[in-house]
Structure 1
């Protein structure tokens, strides 16, 4: 017992120290935890050698990590996912699995025995939710079309992982009857958990909502209860903890539970990855070779199974490339799958080590690549066009829409402010739409505006040739409504300078994120600068006044009436 406490102390201490280094050098924390485990484990300094300690630490961490992954799976988002996301996710998973099985089975001599090819295919088909969401959040790209496609694929990957973990214990005897029995056990477990979380847990949590200790204790009790039920059904505690999390994600107190369990999650997830690092041996040449093959295959398969389907669905080169770039790494969930395979005796330790090394390699590379994904996609698009692949702008060129077709008013970039402006014009002066040109590279915006009869040009506004093609030289008014935080490859100030150089006499309306930007935009050549926070402040002040005068219901009714009249492109 004292040895276990000492081992946990070493795990947390080294995880913290190496985590600090990873933070300063902007590397994934998971990488630091894996290295910490390797350093203090049996293959490093040998400060932690007890297999029992490593096993207990790993299992506890795995249970909590799967519980939290389940809590963060939004079933409603899966139901609402559009056909593009569903088809992209389906093709990525099915295509990735098929290509993986073909590749890894063909090199069976180097991964002989067990179900190595199956586990490797599953591991390579999954992408890292932790790394992707963190980087997309920092880049303000979660709510862009490529960001939404990426997140949709990640959610459905998690669902696929749940199904695989359901049948994983039966892989050694995968007969039709055994498979159906496993699915039946999972269905019974899920149905029981969902029924209790819908009809029993809300009643209980409502009565303890004001006692945080009981909320936390209740969530943990639920996690271990469903885990134990799963164990009795011959599934696994890990599978049960995942189902426990998913079932809790659907009930009213999910956010409160998630907030209270987050601290424990971080603690035990750290322990899991440190324990996983302890199992990584010093690699030999065959392990390194397999790890490089896994990494190369993962990147190449994302191009084949993500880029190509999206491109064939006419999403444009950019919206097809970025999800493929975003998803080009191995998931922390892949490490979970591989670890369960090792514990079940389905795969060799060398295979697990190769996957861990490939995960580390791709985690480091993707941190740098995702930070520069926009610039990389631009270069790739230029190359793909030279190779003959057509983008959505080809459609417009074929229709004869060019500089001569430009209108008096040009909207450079189309996001929510521009969507609201178009809806307002439709409501107040629909004839004005005939004088507007919209320039943007969102394929959904392109198709929706074209269907409504609005003149739209598909293109990247950060390129001067796109501005020339849009007819900026003949425009009377140019509106830049997208804030700098959401612009890719450009800023409002740079766009103002480009527009002013192309058309010295046009009226330019720009948008400022910061008050300090206003003067710089005027100096660059803008005629008027909008500051969204000022209009937001005025609206909030009116709401406060209405609330003080007991007129908030009237204010809300007025807003509801205004919203009911609008048909926005980006709701």
Structure 2
């Protein structure tokens, strides 16, 4: 069918919306919906659009805006201040996956050349920031140790993408001279971007801050100016857009810019992924076989480049395996990199199609993998021990002669437990020798042991771990974790299990829903914490303070109190 560009764009957007609604109902990533929509209306589907060239230029605008937004959302402080464990693990993961992937893809396939194998290996080394952040946020794990490690690796993967885009135009002629010249052009680009963003843009944005339209236009002008400069210097235009975003990511106006650019970016990015879906051929046994091969290679390389490194750093089985599981998918940027390679004549449509199939397959599989990661760790633990990766020793402190035996057990050490320990230290220091903590965060365990608190490293949902820790001798047992944070358990299951181990202890558990309180008491709880009621009382106090113009005094008192606290988890 022969359409004009307006009709083609309308067809793309309508198809993306219809399939997007269906994927939303099925709780699948929207990127899969866009790829499916493009396939459905493209030359290999219902042939609504047989010449995707008509919207390719428009989709390239979406690609530039996508990388600009990724740059805006990068945190330079996190990039420069990544911890040692994160930095070493990220370097091993990135270069290890690229090296292993290149060896496999260049010798076995599906790439047709060593250069194409390199593109595919780099693409397979990247993980999906969109999918990972969303799922970790839903699981309340972004601020956990595994969440911080995962996000830190993602940040350094983005840095690697910048470096790869710098040398990408010279990959066909990787001689030392052209590469040095390329890096010189990169320094020119970064220098110009830094100078402008440091000394010019702050004043310009401050001048137009009260004009929303000018803020939006100014952000887009900066994005395309840097993209154009990159093209003029012989570098990737997409790299220019990425650097443009990174350079203004620390501006006080960044959130406003992100909010205003997001809608227009989403429109063009939708077109980009729909147009990418148009070149996906009908699935054949060949494509499906290579999809499985690429997916298996990706998962295996993640495991062997992430788990052993973290394990050697004393993270234990759980904290070492979870980041590897979290990172086991292809990134949206993987498809972008391959599309850039295709535009340069380095990557075939067959490789992009296989990568697109792999992206969709892994996006779905890794979603279930991340949501069930705790069950995966429990099942893998015995096998890891047999393979020479025993977990950390359960007991980190044994009481000596004359020491008081712990009688107050804290199951799981999170924010509430950290604040409780601080209150005990301040108000009832005599209670400290009676405390014992059970938790599987090695960093927390190390800090607690430094403070003289006995810690048992282990999973609080496991009966054998609780028995080994001596829960049967406890007088008070506290579980301050909510059901949404507990992994593979709930407060009710914990309570029933604890009552079979210890019938006389005072057991304190947590309830998110008021409707659960009566049931927990019926199951044997001594007391049920309901934090929402405490927060409501605090808010009511604040309302009274607001009516009496005392908010400033309360805020000053709160800040003064926080300055004096030295909690394990700040």
**Fold agreement, TM-score > 0.5:** yes
Return the alpha-carbon distance in structure 1 between the equivalents of residues 82 and 113 of structure 2: 39
Note the alpha carbon deviations across 1:43-96, whole angstroms, 9 max, x for none.
Answer: 222221224314213312211211111111111122332211111111111111
Instruction: Note if contact 1:67-1:241 (Cα within 8 Å) is conserved in structure 2.
Output: yes
Match of 1:417 in 2: 416
Q: Report the Cα offset of residue 521 of structure 1.
A: 2.0
Return the alpha-carbon distance in structure 2 between the equivalents of residues 400 and 393 of structure 1: 16
Matched, 1:212 2:212: yes
Return the alpha-carbon distance in structure 2 between the equivalents of residues 269 and 163 of structure 1: 23
Match of 1:53 in 2: 54
**Secondary structure of the equivalent of 1:510?**
strand
Cα 1:177/1:486, change in 2 over 3 Å: same
Matched, 1:449 2:448: yes
Question: More displaced, 284-293 or 139-148?
Answer: 284-293
Match of 1:196 in 2: 196
Question: More displaced, 327-336 or 380-389?
Answer: 380-389
**Secondary structure of the equivalent of 2:172?**
helix
Cα 1:319/1:406, change in 2 over 3 Å: farther
Instruction: Note if contact 2:315-2:442 (Cα within 8 Å) is conserved in structure 1.
Output: yes
Instruction: Note if contact 2:394-2:458 (Cα within 8 Å) is conserved in structure 1.
Output: no
Instruction: Note if contact 1:423-1:566 (Cα within 8 Å) is conserved in structure 2.
Output: yes
Note the alpha carbon deviations across 1:120-162, whole angstroms, 9 max, x for none.
Answer: 1101100111111111112222112111111111111111111
Match of 1:466 in 2: 465
Matched, 1:511 2:514: no
Cα 1:139/1:465, change in 2 over 3 Å: same
Instruction: Note if contact 2:399-2:405 (Cα within 8 Å) is conserved in structure 1.
Output: no
Instruction: Note if contact 1:198-1:251 (Cα within 8 Å) is conserved in structure 2.
Output: no
Question: More displaced, 541-550 or 354-363?
Answer: 541-550
Return the alpha-carbon distance in structure 1 between the equivalents of residues 220 and 26 of structure 2: 35
CA RMSD of aligned residues (A): 2.1
Cα 1:387/1:118, change in 2 over 3 Å: closer
Matched, 1:333 2:333: yes
Return the alpha-carbon distance in structure 1 between the equivalents of residues 395 and 304 of structure 2: 24
Cα 1:288/1:511, change in 2 over 3 Å: closer
Match of 1:8 in 2: 9
Instruction: Note if contact 2:404-2:433 (Cα within 8 Å) is conserved in structure 1.
Output: no
Cα 1:283/1:400, change in 2 over 3 Å: farther
Match of 1:156 in 2: 156
**Secondary structure of the equivalent of 1:484?**
coil
TM-score (normalizing by structure 2): 0.95
Q: Report the Cα offset of residue 559 of structure 1.
A: 2.5
Return the alpha-carbon distance in structure 2 between the equivalents of residues 436 and 568 of structure 1: 16
Q: Report the Cα offset of residue 287 of structure 1.
A: 3.8
Matched, 1:524 2:523: yes
Instruction: Note if contact 2:291-2:357 (Cα within 8 Å) is conserved in structure 1.
Output: yes
**Secondary structure of the equivalent of 1:229?**
helix
**Secondary structure of the equivalent of 1:411?**
strand
Cα 1:197/1:517, change in 2 over 3 Å: farther
Return the alpha-carbon distance in structure 1 between the equivalents of residues 395 and 185 of structure 2: 52
Match of 2:69 in 1: 68
Match of 1:136 in 2: 136
Question: More displaced, 406-415 or 56-65?
Answer: 56-65
Q: Report the Cα offset of residue 467 of structure 1.
A: 1.6
Return the alpha-carbon distance in structure 2 between the equivalents of residues 521 and 385 of structure 1: 36
Match of 1:221 in 2: 221
Return the alpha-carbon distance in structure 2 between the equivalents of residues 88 and 538 of structure 1: 45
Return the alpha-carbon distance in structure 2 between the equivalents of residues 21 and 400 of structure 1: 59
| Equivalent residue pairs, number | 567
Match of 1:390 in 2: 390
TM-score (normalizing by structure 1): 0.94
Q: Report the Cα offset of residue 42 of structure 1.
A: 2.0
Return the alpha-carbon distance in structure 2 between the equivalents of residues 282 and 400 of structure 1: 67
Note the alpha carbon deviations across 1:438-461, whole angstroms, 9 max, x for none.
Answer: 011111111111122110001111
Cα 1:283/1:517, change in 2 over 3 Å: closer
Instruction: Note if contact 1:411-1:478 (Cα within 8 Å) is conserved in structure 2.
Output: yes
Return the alpha-carbon distance in structure 2 between the equivalents of residues 458 and 409 of structure 1: 16
Cα 1:234/1:340, change in 2 over 3 Å: same
Match of 1:42 in 2: 43
Match of 1:231 in 2: 231
Match of 1:26 in 2: 27
**Secondary structure of the equivalent of 2:409?**
strand
Cα 1:38/1:533, change in 2 over 3 Å: same
Q: Report the Cα offset of residue 286 of structure 1.
A: 4.2
Segments of 4+ moved more than 6 angstroms? none
Q: Report the Cα offset of residue 395 of structure 1.
A: 5.8
Instruction: Note if contact 2:12-2:274 (Cα within 8 Å) is conserved in structure 1.
Output: yes
Instruction: Note if contact 1:114-1:347 (Cα within 8 Å) is conserved in structure 2.
Output: no
**Secondary structure of the equivalent of 2:565?**
coil
**Secondary structure of the equivalent of 1:486?**
coil
